[in-house]
Homo-oligomer: A and B are copies of this chain.
Amino acid sequence: MSADTSFDPRSGATVASISHTSDTELDELVVRAAAAADVLAGASPAERQTWIRAGADALEANREELAGVADRETALGSSRLDGEVMRTAGQLRFYAEVAVEGTYLRAVLDPATPTSSFLARTNIPLGPVAVFGASNFPFAFSTFGNDTASALAAACPVVVKAHPAHPMTSQRTFEVVHTAMVGAGAPESVAALVFGYEAGAALVKHPLISAVAFTGSQAGGMSLWKLANERDVVIPVYAEMGTVNPVVVTPAAGADIASIARGFVSSFTLGSGQFCTKPGLILAPRGVNATRIIADALEDASPQPVLLTKGIANAVTAGVAELQEAGATLIAETSSTGAGWSSPATLLAASVDLLHVGSRVLNECFGPVAVVVEYDHVDDALKGVDSLQGALAASIIAADDDPDAPRVLKHLERKVGRVIVNDWPTGVAYTWAQEHGGPWPATSNPTTTSVGASALDRFVRPIAYQGLPESMLPAPLRADNPWGIPRRVGGRLETGERP
């Protein structure tokens, strides 16, 4: 049987090897997850919160070891990874808290009228969810990352397909969190971990899997989406694939190009450019020497990026070559260590007309690569924006009371899930208002988010109960509102009060 083998990206040396999950093992895990689904659905959000908090505490307690393992498999640096473990624990607690708050259940009660019977509606969990973690956040978007945490909070058991680039990190994270959750009372099959491409495909096709959550490349996300669409019972696939996130510098903001250049370089090379929110494209007004100044800023910063996998490193090299063939000009390239999966950071320049092709190629460069476009008039920049694929985020760098900013905003709104003014898109806080999603193909479903309170909404579906006696109603719809959740009763929204 084959195995997932990880490598130290700094040297290329082998780190760990974990056998792939067999078909029989996989089937058993999913069958058990389906049985656990009833236990999770029957537990209150507060009970699930107890389990999830125990998992979060265990993550924190083991963060040094976990960050160490992950650094060997990802080269993302111990301090960044230590912070990421803490963030992942925070995410777990946040989603559990969102579940306890209860708005995600969208409970509604329509009292009986002379012509209609009592009708009440609540969300119920979909059932076992398959989660495919990302390479670039081995904790925050991996084994117990945003997707898993929000699915568990929404009462869905999870079967995680480990990312092949960090199998040992996945395994240890799973052991630490799973043991703690079960110790706190969660059913054994609240979560499971599987390895291997075949196991991943079998998961998506398994009749007892109810939804798929994925973070990664367009090629990966699309293939899972297609697989799910071929099922007898088609299930939702929430694929967060990202694309090229544009930055538009307005003419009025052009004067600040030196500081903009430093911020842009720092943002597009962060984590070796391996962020789905990386600003891969900057549109700046002609006449402020933007291309030269950004190139200088890149040379000043002179990062020495190391990429997560050989595959990513090769795709970056190929993408940069393809961009040049398409008509982009190489402007600056930093030196690289030459060892392992190291790569230069690269800046290219292109014309607005190139964007509708270039943005698709650039999308494949999941690394420290960015393109500068100098525009003559804001209308040209907007034409460029209109030609881009849907994206997760976009930034506007604008002056106070900038006359062009509202128009730029209008065009960017159609393309992305988040617009930022005078800051960079790379940070994604897990909060009530967050939206980490965007029009196709940034995500497979533009009405959802994979980060923030609404992430739970992906794993529930509404059901209405008509004429049910009080004794048969689930807790969210009982007259005494035992969980104290917000509800709409007789058309009026009531904020609820925790017991």
Q: Give A residues with C-beta under 8 Å from B.
A: 103, 106, 108-110, 116-117, 119-121, 124, 126, 229, 233-236, 390, 400-401, 405-406, 409, 413, 416-423, 427, 429, 431-435, 437, 439-441, 444-447, 449, 452-454, 457-458, 460-469, 471-472, 486, 488, 491, 493-495
Docked-complex contact A413 and B447, CB < 8 angstroms: no
Residues of B with C-beta under 8 A to A409? 468, 472
Which B residue's beta carbon lies closest to that of A109?
A: B433
Q: In the complex, what's the smallest C-beta–C-beta distance from A366 to chain B, in angstroms?
A: 21
Extra 13 A-B pairs, beta carbons < 8 Å, given A420-B467, A447-B458 = A103-B488, A109-B433, A233-B439, A234-B440, A235-B440, A236-B446, A400-B469, A401-B471, A417-B463, A419-B463, A421-B468, A447-B461, A486-B493
Docked-complex contact A390 and B233, CB < 8 angstroms: yes
Knowing A390-B233, A432-B110, A433-B121, say if A419 contacts B461 (CB, 8 Å): no
Q: In the complex, what's the smallest C-beta–C-beta distance from A264 to chain B, in angstroms?
A: 16
CA separation between A16 and B110, bound complex, in Å? Answer: 42
Integer count of this chain's copies in the complex: 2
CA separation between A327 and B472, bound complex, in Å? Answer: 36
Residues of B with C-beta under 8 A to A435? 121, 462-464
Residues of B with C-beta under 8 A to A119? 429, 431, 433-434
Which B residue's beta carbon lies closest to that of A468?
A: B421
Highest count of chain B CB atoms <10 Å: which of A405, A433, A495: A433
Q: In the complex, what's the smallest C-beta–C-beta distance from A340 to chain B, in angstroms?
A: 33
Residues of B with C-beta under 8 A to A126? 446
> Among B405, B460, B468, which residue has its beta carbon within 8 angstroms of that of A472?
B405
Which B residue's beta carbon lies closest to that of A425?
A: B466
> Among B120, B405, B432, B434, which residue has its beta carbon within 8 angstroms of that of A488?
B432
Residues of B with C-beta under 8 A to A431? 110, 116, 119
Knowing A229-B229, A467-B421, A486-B493, say if A446 contacts B461 (CB, 8 Å): yes
CA separation between A435 and B464, bound complex, in Å? Answer: 5
CA separation between A422 and B454, bound complex, in Å? Answer: 35
Residues of B with C-beta under 8 A to A468? 409, 419, 421
Residues of B with C-beta under 8 A to A460? 447
Which B residue's beta carbon lies closest to that of A106?
A: B454
Residues of B with C-beta under 8 A to A103? 488, 493
Knowing A433-B121, A435-B462, A472-B409, say if A233 contacts B441 (CB, 8 Å): yes
Residues of B with C-beta under 8 A to A453? 108
Residues of B with C-beta under 8 A to A446? 126, 236, 461
Q: In the complex, what's the smallest C-beta–C-beta distance from A283 to chain B, in angstroms?
A: 18
> Among B421, B486, B491, B494, which residue has its beta carbon within 8 angstroms of that of A432?
B491
CA separation between A458 and B453, bound complex, in Å? Answer: 19
